[in-house]
Chain A
């Protein structure tokens, strides 16, 4: 393996994570579109909303991760893709803004009508965004993005058979993943009615997504021959087979309500397809541009690999913590414990004049060093002292303010 391949593997891992986790997010939005005014329909939508609340921002960051690796490690390819596919990427961006806004707004909705309006906006953007991102993948896979500044066709590069197929498949996959995960969450919080509702949806969308994937291979055969060849031979074929088996296994597990395993197999079914695409398309990223040619210089690649590697040491345990809490139901609505009633009387914080004096000393020293001296050491100490003034001064004054409560 060449050094130039390492960031690509990181990028594909990020893309697979986004396809699974971000996909489930989009799917949860998809299920808010189907409504009805009844209590049951309402609780289905509520569930789809609440289940993703704590993790959607984290799931979204995978997209940012993919973007930054792409432009650091393969800048020419990234810039060619972004300029030719500016329309679908912009649509995806607008969809992301609408989704985020809807998330922020939902907690403020007071009436059923407001809530429904927000939900519809959320659902539409949750369909638009994965479709547009799928169309981007389709454009790259079918070789419609030439190297250069917006050299490809702004319309046909992403409005073509392969792009539309992958866009629709992305929406269907998202709905399927979300249904599996929401059924699992419903089982955890003890809502058999919701569990049944999403189990049915999981199986229905699983069949649709599977049929779409198989039917779409015909499109790939005609329109993206290179990908077809890659997916029907060697490692690419292996990925397709694994994905199919994982999809069937998910169905069986969902039917038997074995959701914890179904979560994993559903994720594998989707993630493996990302790997299959990469295997089928290698060694070219864009027509006439191989991975090695697209890669940045040695030092830039090393920097990004080391940076991400060190970051992963912090990131992976943090992700495990968040998803551990989330999947063990610690964020579920019913586990909120009431705040313990306090019996002790509030204590006033001590007013410490020496803290205030220390803050003033920091201000004088910091101001002098920053203003009158030119060396970098004086500036480092001076600016640190100024920041210390803000911090110390705040703690000193906060105690004073609390003490002032009684006297005012």
Chain B
């Protein structure tokens, strides 16, 4: 692992490496919640529209129409924050791009095409309300769902490659013998990341939407419209959240196999051990976890399904090759903790349907749903911190260090401060538009039709 690639351009001395990393992380944290809506919103809106046709109930049409406007606004913000990310690949990490652009670029090229199709059909869908036949309109929504999935597959395939690189050889710092297809799609690391993220999209979008309506519910807005708008996203999130626990376990086992150092950082395992324990909470002091709640042998069991399996510790690599353990560990524990809590809330909700065939009545349930929205977002960000900071100090795991990928240009701090300000403004703007869109009165014709029932 010590023979790290210096890349096409060779290393540079960049004193603002940390700022460059934080700037990339900020851009990513701003973009990834929008990705969740890009993944989940089209399927949800399309289901609502289809259900409306099936039941001849106008309230679903009203709901789909209003949600599709929010979907378009969030898509617009996702488009531009995604553009910033693609700019930053070149602006901040030129040596990474120059050295490996040809290896993983195919993923982004196909992503570009699917993004194109997504933009085309989202426009046709949203501007096509009442202007296309109901059937054509419904069909125009299908490519949005497919391209949303294809786009995540492509981006995740690049991330999977960065975590588990293959499909090339290194010769004098350059990538030669490049096989882009093998690098991106014959990589077993891609699939758990893809499923984990795809489900996260539904969980985050579902709980965030449900949180809005649960908040209204607590304030007495409990009409048929609001009830439907609450139940649909909440149900889909509640189905996905327990499944995510199983998928997350699968992901962790793959990490144990291919990135043992990352796993050791997740659990704060300083030295290689047989029958390794898990610690809940606590602090890693450079050798072991202090003050945590210890559960003996559980790490060995969860990683390898064997209570006495050997789990590699951080001591298997030099100190320079280890990620910042406490950051990764805290993010991982937060994700798992929140994810488990959301799964429990979901099981309670689903149980209420199965047992009593109605929504829970306790207002504590609705308070919990209000909290679940921001918590799901936090778990999403923590999950990405886990995998991305957990990969450090490598940008391409075991191949190129982040410090060798960075730009030689000055002024990173200025760019970072500017972007932080702009994104702060963007946050305020998004909150403002969502508030405005939610206050547009409901279509009177549809409500009248509903009242006459």
Is the Cβ of B80 less than 8 Å from the Cβ of A96? yes
State whether A322 touches B120 (Cβ < 8 A).
yes
User: Which chain A residue lies CB-closest to B181?
Assistant: A303
Contacts of A342 in B (CB 8 A): 56, 58, 449
Chain B contacts with A in 171-195, Cβ cutoff 8 A: 176-181, 188, 191, 195
Binding site for A on B (CB under 8 A): 8-10, 12, 47, 51, 54-58, 61, 69, 72-77, 79-84, 86-91, 94-95, 97-103, 105-106, 108-117, 119-124, 127-128, 130-132, 143, 176-181, 188, 191, 195, 199, 202, 224, 227-228, 231-232, 235-236, 239-240, 243, 246-247, 249-250, 305, 350, 353, 357-359, 407-411, 415, 418-419, 422, 425-426, 429-430, 432-433, 436-437, 445, 449, 453
Residues of A within 8 A of B132 (CB): 330
* Cβ contacts under 8 Å, B305 to chain A: 372, 374
- Chain B residues with CB under 8 Å of A65's CB are 112-113, 116
Chain B residues near A339 (CB, 8 Å)? 58, 61, 130, 445
A-B pair number, CB within 8 angstroms: 338
- B123 CB to nearest A CB, Å: 5
In the complex, which of the residues B82, B120, B181, B445 contacts A321, with contact meaning CB atoms closer than 8 Å? Answer: B120
User: Smallest distance from the beta carbon of B247 to chain A beta carbons, Å?
Assistant: 7
Inter-chain contact B116/A71, CB cutoff 8 Å: no
Of the candidates A149, A297, A393, the one having the most CB atoms from chain B within 10 angstroms of its own CB is A149
Q: Which residues of A contact B81 (CB under 8 A)?
A: 97
Q: Quick one: CB contact mask for A289-318 with B, threshold 8 Å, 1 for yes? A: 000000011011001100110011011001
Complex Cα spacing A297 to B106, Å: 13
Q: How far is the CB of B150 from chain A (nearest CB, A)?
A: 10
Q: What residues of B have a CB within 8 angstroms of the CB of A78 in the complex?
A: 90, 97-98, 101
Within 8 Å by CB of B409, from A68, A83, A93, A346, lies A83
User: Cβ of B105 and Cβ of A61 under 8 Å apart?
Assistant: no
Chain A 100-123, CB-CB to B under 8 Å as 1, else 0, gives 110111011010000000000000
Least CB distance from A380 to B in Å reads 8
Chain A residues whose CB sits within 8 angstroms of the CB of B124 once the complex forms: 54, 321-322, 325
Q: Which of A220-228, A257-265, A382-390 contacts B (4 or more CB under 8 A)?
A: A382-390
Residues of A within 8 A of B91 (CB): 82-83, 86, 89-90
**A299 to B91 alpha-carbon distance, docked (Å):** 26
Using known A-B contacts A68-B86, A330-B131, determine if residue A318 contacts B117 with beta carbons closer than 8 Å: yes
A72-B73 Cα distance, complex, nearest whole Å? 30
Which residue of A is nearest B85, CB measured?
Answer: A93
CB of A237 closer than 8 Å to a CB of B: no
Docked pose: A394 CA to B234 CA in angstroms: 10
- Tell me if B101 and A57 are in contact (CB < 8 A): no
Q: When the two chains form the complex, which single residue of B114, B131, B407, B436 contacts A335, counting CB atoms closer than 8 Å? A: B131
The answer to whether the Cβ of A80 comes within 8 Å of any Cβ in the partner chain is yes
Closest A residue to B91 using CB positions:
A86
Question: Given A99-B80, A107-B73, A345-B453, are A296 and B113 also a contact pair (CB < 8 Å)?
Answer: no
Q: How many whole Å from B109's CB to the nearest CB in chain A? A: 5
Chain A residues with CB under 8 A of B83? 60, 63-64, 93, 96-97
Asked if B232 and A61 sit within 8 Å, CB to CB, the answer is: no
Interface window among A207-215, A268-276, A396-404: A396-404
Interface string of A342-374 (1 = CB under 8 A from B): 101111110000000000000100110011101
15 contacts between A and B (CB under 8 A): A72-B106, A75-B97, A86-B409, A97-B80, A97-B83, A100-B80, A101-B76, A101-B426, A104-B77, A300-B103, A304-B105, A307-B109, A401-B231, A404-B357, A405-B227
Point out the residues of chain B lying under 8 angstroms from A341, CB to CB.
Answer: 445, 449
The 3 closest A-B pairs by CB, nearest first: A72-B105, A82-B90, A75-B101
Q: Which of B73, B80, B86 has the most CB of A within 10 A?
A: B80
Closest Cβ of chain A to B63, distance in Å, is 12
Q: Which residues of B contact A348 (CB under 8 A)?
A: 55
0 or 1 for each of A314-332: is its CB under 8 Å from B? (1 = yes)? 1100110110010000110
Known pairs A61-B115, A349-B54; A73 contacts B408 (CB<8 A): no
A64 to B131, CA, bound (A): 30
Shortest CB distance B176–A (Å): 7
**A57-B122, A307-B113, A330-B131 as given contacts; A83 in contact with B90, CB under 8 Å:** yes
Which residue on chain A has the smallest CB distance to residue B110?
Answer: A307
Known A339-B130, A390-B240, A407-B357: A398·B90 in contact at CB below 8 Å = no
**Contacts A101-B429, A149-B408, A379-B191: A300 and B106 contacting too (C-beta < 8 A)?**
yes
Contact B115 A89 (CB under 8 A): no
Chain A residue numbers with a CB within 8 Å of B449 are 341-342
Q: Select one of A57, A304, A331 contacting B109, CB under 8 A.
A: A304
Known: A75-B97, A149-B95, A149-B408. A322 touches B179 (CB 8 A): no
Q: How far is the CA of A245 from the CA of B204 in the complex (A)?
A: 55
Q: Specify the chain B residue showing the minimal Cβ separation from A356.
A: B354
Across-interface contacts of B180 in A (CB, < 8 A): 299-300, 303-304
Q: Is A242 interfacial (CB 8 A cutoff)?
A: no
- Per a CB cutoff under 8 Å, which of B178, B411, B432 touches A105? B432
Q: A100-B77, A107-B73 are in contact. Are A87 and B130 (CB under 8 A)?
A: no
Query: Which interface class (under 10, 10 to 19, 20 to 34, 35 or more) fits A?
Result: 35 or more
Shortest distance in angstroms between A21's beta carbon and chain B's nearest beta carbon? Answer: 12
Which residues of chain B are within 8 angstroms of A393 by Cβ–Cβ distance? 239
Q: Which one of B51, B102, B123 contacts A55 once the chains associate, using CB atoms below 8 Å?
A: B123
Cβ contact within 8 Å between B101 and A296 = yes
In the assembled complex, the Cα of A379 lies from the Cα of B257 at a distance in Å of 15
Residue A39 lies at the interface, judged by CB distance under 8 Å to chain B: no
Bound-state Cα–Cα, A75 to B7, Å: 12
Contacts of B10 in A (CB 8 A): 149
Give A197 to B41 CA distance when docked, in angstroms.
Answer: 40
Q: With a CB–CB cut-off of 8 A, which chain A residues contact B179?
A: 299
Judging by beta carbons under 8 Å apart, are A383 and B131 in contact? no
Contacts of A154 in B (CB 8 A): 409-411
Look across to chain A and name the residue whose beta carbon is closest to the beta carbon of B123: A54
- Does A336 interact with chain B (Cβ within 8 Å)? yes
- In the assembled complex, which residues on chain A have CB atoms less than 8 Å from the CB atom of B127? 53-54, 331
Name the interface residues of A67-85: CB closer than 8 Å to any CB of B.
67-69, 71-73, 75-76, 78-84
Measured between beta carbons, the chain B residues less than 8 angstroms from A73 are: 102, 105
Task: Report the minimum CB–CB distance from A24 to chain B (whole Å).
Answer: 15
Chain B residues with CB under 8 A of A307: 106, 109-110, 113
Residues of B within 8 A of A89 (CB): 87, 90-91
Determine whether the beta carbon of B357 is less than 8 Å from that of A60.
no
In the bound assembly, the distance between CA atoms of A295 and B329 in angstroms comes to 42
Set B98, B143, B224, B250: member contacting A75, Cβ < 8 A: B98
**CB <8 Å contact, B243 and A390:** yes
- Alpha-carbon separation in the docked complex, A101 to B84 (Å): 13
Known: A89-B90, A99-B80, A101-B426. Is A386-B246 also a contact (CB below 8 A)? yes
Q: How far is the CB of B184 from chain A (nearest CB, A)?
A: 9
Closest Cβ–Cβ distance, residue A388 to chain B (whole Å): 10
Residues of chain B contacted by A151 (CB below 8 angstroms) = 408
- Measured between beta carbons, the chain A residues less than 8 angstroms from B111 are 68
The reply to whether A347 and B55 contact each other, CB–CB distance below 8 Å, is yes
Q: Is A100 within 8 A of B79, CB to CB? A: yes
A71 touches B97 (CB 8 A): yes
Known: A57-B123, A64-B86. A300 touches B246 (CB 8 A): no
